[in-house]
Amino acid sequence: MGMNLIEKILANHSKFEKVKSGDIVDIEIDARAARDFGGANVVKNMLDNGLKVKDPEKTFFTFDTNPTGSDQKYAANQQICRLYARQNAIKVYDINIGIGTHTFMDRGLAWPGSTAVTTDSHANILGAIGAFGQGMGDQDIAAAWAKGFVWFKVPESVKINILGKRPAHITAKDVALNLLARFGANSLLGYSVEIYGQEVDKFTIDERITIASMATEMGAITILFTPSQEVMEYCEFRTKRKLERIFADIDANYSQIFDLDFSEFVTRVSLPGKPHDTVDIIAAKGTKIDSAFVGSCTNGRMQDLRAVAAVLKNRKVAPGVVLKIVPATDEIWQEAMNEGLIRIFKDAGALVSNAGCAGCAAGQVGQNGVGEVTISTGNRNFPGKQGKGKVYLATPSVVAASAVAGFITTPDEIPDEPMLFETERQETTSKIEEKIPVFTPTTVQGRVWIIKEDNIDTDMIFHNRYLAITNINEMGQYTFDNLPGHEDFAKHAKTGDIIVVGKNFGSGSSRQQAVDCFKSLGIQAILAESFGAIYERNAINAALPIVTYKDLSKLDIKSGDTISINFETGEIINFYNSEQVFANPFSEVQLEIYKNGGLF
């Protein structure tokens, strides 16, 4: 049996000639980076644990979440990173460069078949060029900086064949939204996905970036494309060396294979709150908007900006509508200026900001207010992710057309007169403080909280407005304050409590705080049907006990019941009715890290 793409990449970076799904291997990392908001915590981990940087030439900082330094806490964290970089000969791609994952590709730091890790949960965007990129938490990145490698479980792989001719109106973002409509947020959870097809082979590098960028929203480890000739030439130009093309073996193994008809793909938008909650744009047409955003790691490339310029040329943004445009990198910004696109944007009335992530992680532009309706090219519209308003996700040309119309529409249905709008405002608060207990027993007992919801993302667990917090003692008070119906969780949680949730818990961002807030409250364990891939790593590395289960119905657990969990055997007992079931026990690696009190 041959190897698929992810297996080949990981095998080539391990001591093994072949690896298969389920293997846990140490893999060498070609490029290791930390961003501005995560970087300060990485530095803290390095200093607190007396770690030294191995291979500084492969180690980087990328300042992309707030490249204006407009927030004092971001600016402080950036300066912490700069000082550490000067002391350790680490390259800083500072606030004038752009999105770090794009920098990996544009600066030749990643190439087909290479490996890279960063604190960006969309590092899997590197699948666009056939590379393995992985977002990881602060401890993981510090370990990679110190050792040059990380442990990783080889994921199972899924193959998607997109068959038939590409409809003329379908863009790369439409492809991503159609895949989300088909697979949702957790059908591909934990899988490495490979996409094939005659039309897929023709996808440009910009289009591949858009689709690969949304792997995280599908719950996938990565979406990998076999490099095309265009991709190879691009990467060879950027790395300034001849590269070997990577591809899956003919007899490669896939857990599942899906055949999708390209002719059935339609222009879609994601409804506010869930990227996977997509509808045919017909269902959303006519929705009034307050603002529009073009950019993010998903749609800030030249192909995207040209599509926007084609719509905006000789037109004006609707009165009162704010259109924000943020190129992905400074190189793209310069190219857009040279082509005259920036002039088109400005003449139309758009705000054009310097390159960066923009709306994500409370960045420099792109946030919206309470009651504000935004249409965005971003990859996420979780509640609170891009502000406190409602965010629809769409393709760049649809966003531009909607900005001109004042309501959601397509480029071919822009009216002569735009629609006007109104806005609303509201406020929310939440506060509490707790101590940090340390637990090492392999059997624990505690009171249960039942939160039987799927796809609870990291913004719901620990909102991005608190990301500048590095003191774990301060984190617990903000736990779940962005999860509707559970905003007061932290006020009532007690040391020793156990949480039971549904599928894909911890999806979304790579933030370590979404794990540490539970440790701050003294939560003993979290039971879930499945966890987001990055969240699972962060929890294991932080020695927060997480356990996956298949079926707990026999236990008939209710909130307030007392249960016990044996991490070594997986045995769970409900003391209310003495019923017993078995969940998945800790793996050898998880148990070792847990008994050690954490990765370090």
Alpha carbon 354 to chain centroid, angstroms: 22
Torsions phi, psi of 548, nearest 5?
Answer: -100, 145
- What whole-number distance in Å separates Cα of residue 295 and Cα of residue 325? 6
Sign of CA dihedral 449, 153, 181, 123: positive
Better-scored residue on pLDDT, 133 or 361: 133
| 211-224: average pLDDT | 94
pLDDT at position 270: 92
Q: Residue 243: name the closest of 255, 253, 234 by CA.
A: 234
pLDDT at residue number 423: 43
Distance of CA 54 to the CA centre of its chain: 27
pLDDT at 588 over 50: yes
Q: Is residue 271 pLDDT above 50, yes or no?
A: yes
Average pLDDT over residues 494-505: 96
Strand partners, 256: 158
- The residue type found at 469 is I
| Distance from the Cα of residue 88 to its chain's centroid | 28
Q: Residue 268: enclosing H or E segment and its boundaries?
A: strand 268-270
Residue with tokens 């190879």: 232
Considering only residues 418 and 191, tell me which one the structure prediction assigns the higher pLDDT: 191
Q: Is pLDDT at 103 greater than 50 in this prediction?
A: yes
User: Alpha carbon 207 to chain centroid distance?
Assistant: 18
Q: Which two tokens stand for residue 443?
A: 């059997």
> What percentage of the chain carries pLDDT values higher than 70?
95
Q: Is the dihedral of CA 187, 215, 584, 457 positive or negative?
A: negative
Residue 553 above 50 pLDDT?
yes
Among candidate residues 421, 393, 223, 180, the one with its CA nearest the CA of residue 295: 393
Q: What is the pLDDT of residues 417-465, one digit of tens each?
A: 887 645 455 554 544 444 454 457 899 999 999 998 999 999 999 998 8
Measure the CA angle with vertex 587, ends 584 and 591; round to 5°.
110
Alpha-carbon dihedral angle through residues 556, 500, 271, 348, given to the nearest 10 degrees: 170
Cα 589 from Cα 593, distance rounded (Å)? 6
Lowest average pLDDT, out of 55-64, 99-108, 432-441, goes to 432-441
What is the model's pLDDT at position 361?
A: 62
User: Which residue type does 412 have?
Assistant: D
Which of 221-235, 355-369, 423-437 has maximum average pLDDT? Answer: 221-235
Q: What is the pLDDT of residue 421?
A: 44
User: How are beta strands 571-574 and 498-501 bridged, if at all?
Assistant: unpaired
Intrachain domains 5-264 and 288-413 with the same fold: yes
Cα-Cα-Cα-Cα torsion 368, 373, 374, 380, nearest 10 degrees, comes to 80
| Torsion sign over Cα 560, 566, 567, 570 | negative
CA distance 249 to 254: 11
Q: Is the dihedral of CA 88, 41, 503, 497 positive or negative?
A: positive
State yes or no: pLDDT of 116 exceeds 60: yes
Q: Which pLDDT score, from 0 to 100, does residue 366 have? A: 67
Average pLDDT, the chain: 92
**Longest CA pairwise span in the chain (Å):** 72
Domain 288-413 has CATH 3.30.499.10: yes
pLDDT at 435: 42
The token pair at 504 is 């894909």
Segment 9-18 long-range contacts (CB within 8 Å, at least 24 positions apart): 9/113, 9/114, 9/115, 9/131, 9/132, 9/246, 10/115, 10/132, 10/152, 10/154, 12/113, 13/115, 13/132, 13/149
Cα dihedral 106→110→111→115 (10° resolution)? -160
Model confidence at 374: pLDDT above 50: yes
Give the predicted TM-score (pTM) of the model: 0.84
156 neighbors 70 (Cβ within 8 angstroms): no
pLDDT 10s digits, 124-134: 999 999 999 99
DSSP string, 2-17: B--HHHHHHHHTSS-S
Neighbours of 10 (CB within 10 A): 25
- Per-residue tokens: 294: 């073009």
Kindly list the domain boundaries of the chain, sorted by start residue.
5-264, 288-413, 443-595
- 359: confidence class by pLDDT, cuts 50, 70, 90: confident
Tell me, what's the pLDDT at 253?
A: 95
State residue 437's pLDDT score.
Answer: 47
Structure token digits, residue 265:
């793909």
- Architecture of 443-595 per CATH? Alpha-Beta Barrel (3.20)
pLDDT digits (tens, 9 = 90+) for 462-494: 998 888 788 999 999 999 999 999 999 999 999
Q: Which two tokens stand for residue 426?
A: 């509201």
What pLDDT, on a 0 to 100 scale, did the predictor assign at position 362? Answer: 60
Average pLDDT estimate for 296-305: 93
Of the candidates 117, 47, 122, the one whose C-alpha atom is nearest the C-alpha of residue 87 is: 47
φ and ψ at 141, to 5 degrees? -65, -40
Average pLDDT over residues 372-387: 84
Q: How far is CA 311 from CA 224, 254, 348, 513, 543, in A?
A: 31, 41, 10, 41, 51
pLDDT, one tens digit per residue, over 517-528 is: 999 999 999 999
Round to whole Å and give the CA distance between 34 and 26.
Answer: 20
Domain range 5-264, its CATH number among 3.90.1150.10, 3.40.50.300, 3.40.50.720, 3.30.499.10? 3.30.499.10
pLDDT at 27 over 90: yes
Residues 6+ apart with CB under 8 A from 484: 383
Predicted confidence at residue 433, as pLDDT, reads: 46
